[in-house]
Amino acid sequence: MECQDIRKNLYAYLEGMASPEDQELIDQHLASCRACSTALYELNRTGEVLKNLKDVEPPPWMTKKIMARVRQEAKSERGFIRKLFYPLHIKIPLEAFATVLIAVIAVYVFKAMEPEMKDLQALSQGAGHRPPRSPLSGKSSGCGNTGSPGEGCCPKEPR
Ligand SMILES: [Zn+2]
């Protein structure tokens, strides 16, 4: 058996759970290998320490303190989560940032579309979609009544 194998089986050996053959092999190895016997000693000591720790009773004030803390945490859990995810001082700048971002995007889109819009306007004007405008009535437009150039052509007041 190599040292690595011995180390793997040391705990079982210590607890008496190793097979008799392994037990004997480990015994033989430990007799000749100082490193492994030291490892066994350390393992044994750690186990003892752990066993002793199990017997230690926590002081009564500790239980009270922990339980009080748990109740407090449970009470303020909702508030805590809310604070964690939506802290006011973060939410407001976030919204402000989003607003600014949207404004900037809108400006960019508008700038990008501006030439196209001009082209569209030129196209629609070139297609002759303009309202009918007579040369006589300069200011008034769209009425079609070209008889009286000076006054408003549409009959606003009853005759
Ligand atoms: Zn060894």
Tens of pLDDT, residues 59-117:
888 888 998 998 888 887 666 666 666 666 666 677 777 888 888 888 888 788 777 77
Q: Write down the pTM of the prediction.
A: 0.35
Tokens standing for 76? 């303020």
- The contacts of residue 147 (CB under 8 Å, 6+ apart) are 153
Write down the pLDDT at residue 139: 53
Tokens standing for 149? 């150039």
Distance 2 CA to ligand 1 centre (A): 7
Mean per-residue pLDDT for 121-143? 61
Distance 43 CA to ligand 1 centre (A): 14
Nearest to 43 by CA among 75, 84, 13: 13
Distance 27 CA to ligand 1 centre (A): 11
| pLDDT of residue 31 exceeding 70 | yes
Mean per-residue pLDDT for 44-48? 87
DSSP letter string over 41-88? HHHHHHHHHHHHHHHPPPPHHHHHHHHHHHHHHHHTHHHHHHHHH--H
Distance 99 CA to ligand 1 centre (A): 70
Distance 51 CA to ligand 1 centre (A): 26
Tokens standing for 51? 């066993």
- The letter for the amino acid at 22 is D
| 32 contacts 2 by C-beta, under 8 angstroms | no
| 23 contacts 1 by C-beta, under 8 angstroms | no
| pLDDT of residue 56 exceeding 80 | no
